[in-house]
Amino acid sequence: MKTTNLISEIRKKNSFLCIGLDVDLDKIPQHLLKEEDPIFAFNKEIIDATHSLAVAYKPNTAFYEAYGLKGWKALEKTINYLNENYPEIFTIADAKRGDIGNTSTMYAKAFFEDLGFDSVTVAPYMGQDSVEPFLSFEDKHTIMLALTSNKGAFDFQVKVSEGKELYKSVLETSTHWKNSENLMYVVGATKAEYFAEIRKIVPSSFLLVPGVGAQGGSLSEVCKYGITKDIGLLINSSRGIIYASQDTNFAQAAKSKALELQLEMKAIINDL
């Protein structure tokens, strides 16, 4: 998907909501466990109920790999379902991959070609030649970790070298990589005060922002410092939406939670 299509979709829906499909069999409504593929059954209902309010879905691969072959199959069915029924939706494989060049190419093939995702998240530790193989795919996006939402972000990401925090070096350096126009970045909502600094380095790049809701980040604070004229933000919520209820009405409950966020987003867009 081209970035312009994502922006159109945001404008059309008045939403920059991404829904995280982090499916844990211990947390989904128990009546679904009798389905042949409970993970896919859960995702399908969530997607059907919320697709008009969200512009992106983001399955985190960990939750699928934990169930082995069965999980990988559910991931495949989920992305196929999205691509067939809602091709206007931007899809993110939250995989946080990264390896030496020829190996990163295999990961890129796995997520872009075999599964057909629009984007994949990657980790920056191994540098340029671990990320560029992902960037070479046309109309695909690579979302690199910059400043994450967890406590461990303070262990290494904010270390100052030559007057600059590591996450700033990661952002700056990556803008010089080949096909860097295909880069987006992960910046946690729990670090809203950092967005102004980040926008000095990547003024127009899309930022994928986890941490609103369960992790305590504030949507309005993030937008105050991070929003651009083309919005430039994808705000992710996972648990806060998909586990809104464990009853048979879970999909409607998820829709209500998604609607709350979408209405907040609409107000923010209208105020720009």
Q: Which residues are catalytic?
A: 96
38 binds its own copies (CB under 8 A): no
**Sole window of 35-43, 83-91, 143-151, 242-250 interacting with its own copies (rule: CB under 8 A):** 143-151
142 binds its own copies (CB under 8 A): no
Beta 56-58 vs 207-209: how paired, if at all?
A: unpaired
Closer to its own copies by Cβ: residue 15 or 157: 157
Give the C-alpha separation, 107 to 119, whole Å. 12
Give the C-alpha separation, 136 to 130, whole Å. 12
Alpha-carbon torsion angle 267, 269, 270, 272, nearest 10: 120
- Compute how many residues bind its own copies; rule: CB under 8 A: 57
Among 35, 114, 193, 247, binds its own copies (CB under 8 A): 114
Closer to its own copies by Cβ: residue 87 or 101: 101
97 binds its own copies (CB under 8 A): yes
Among 104, 142, 182, 237, binds its own copies (CB under 8 A): 104
259 binds its own copies (CB under 8 A): no
Please answer whether residues 58 and 18 qualify as being in contact, where contact means their C-beta atoms are separated by less than 8 angstroms: yes
DSSP state of 27: T
Give the C-alpha separation, 72 to 20, whole Å. 16
Among 7, 14, 123, 197, binds its own copies (CB under 8 A): 123
236 binds its own copies (CB under 8 A): no
262 binds its own copies (CB under 8 A): no
Q: What are phi and psi of 213, to 5 degrees?
A: 95, -120
